[in-house]
Structure formats: structure tokens, C-alpha cells
Amino acid sequence: MAGRAMVLTLRRDIYDGGAYRITGTVTELGVVGRYRVRLFDRVTARCLRETWSAADGAYSFPYIAYRANGYFTVAYDHGDSPLNAAIADLITPEPIP
């Protein structure tokens, strides 16, 4: 294709990105499902990422920075009769293999 150039743009999170990940499973009273999960910095309480868990409740936040003070996650129930949010605190990321 003469006269056309493709430009590939790569994005990188220079503030919160890194070679670590957080993975987990969320349930509602022992029942796995799709829930919205948000990742927060434990010191500033700033929301860094958001994802939806898979049908089996599994979620992952890849390529995050290591923080000595850790992170916390909040999972929200959006069902017909929602329950309180589930919170996991003092989460330490693991290196991405």
C-alpha cells in the first residue's frame, strides 16, 4: 500500500505500572460469579484499576507496581438482591512469571 504508514501506539502506565500482578477469586456467600472489582492504593485510597471477574469469580490486575504498603480491593455485587461489598486488604502483588 503505497503512501500509507501504520503507526503502532504503545501505552505504559508510568505511575502505577510494573512487573507485578494481583490475582484472586471473589464470591458472594460462597457463590462465584461476575462482580466488578476495583483495586486501590492502600496509602492514598486512590482507585488504580477496575475489572470484572470471570464467571468462576477469578480476577487479575496485571502489570502493576510493587508497593511496600500494599493494595486493597473492593468487589461489588450487582445482582437482583445485592449484598454488601467484599473487601480484601493488605494485598501484596506477586512478580509476573
User: Tell me: the pLDDT tens digits for 51-68?
Assistant: 999 999 999 999 999 998
Q: Residue 8: its pLDDT value, please?
A: 66
Residue in the structure block whose three cell numbers are 454488601: 84
The arithmetic mean of pLDDT across residues 74-96, rounded, is 84
Is 72 in contact with 89 (CB distance < 8 Å)?
yes
For residue 41, what are the CA distances in angstroms to 72, 80, 90?
Answer: 7, 30, 10
User: Tell me: the pLDDT tens digits for 3-54?
Assistant: 677 766 666 777 788 899 999 999 887 788 899 999 999 999 999 999 999 9
End-to-end CA distance of the chain: 39
Is 59 in contact with 76 (CB distance < 8 Å)?
no
The arithmetic mean of pLDDT across residues 59-81, rounded, is 89
What is the distance between the alpha carbons of residues 91 and 49, in angstroms, rounded to a whole number? 14
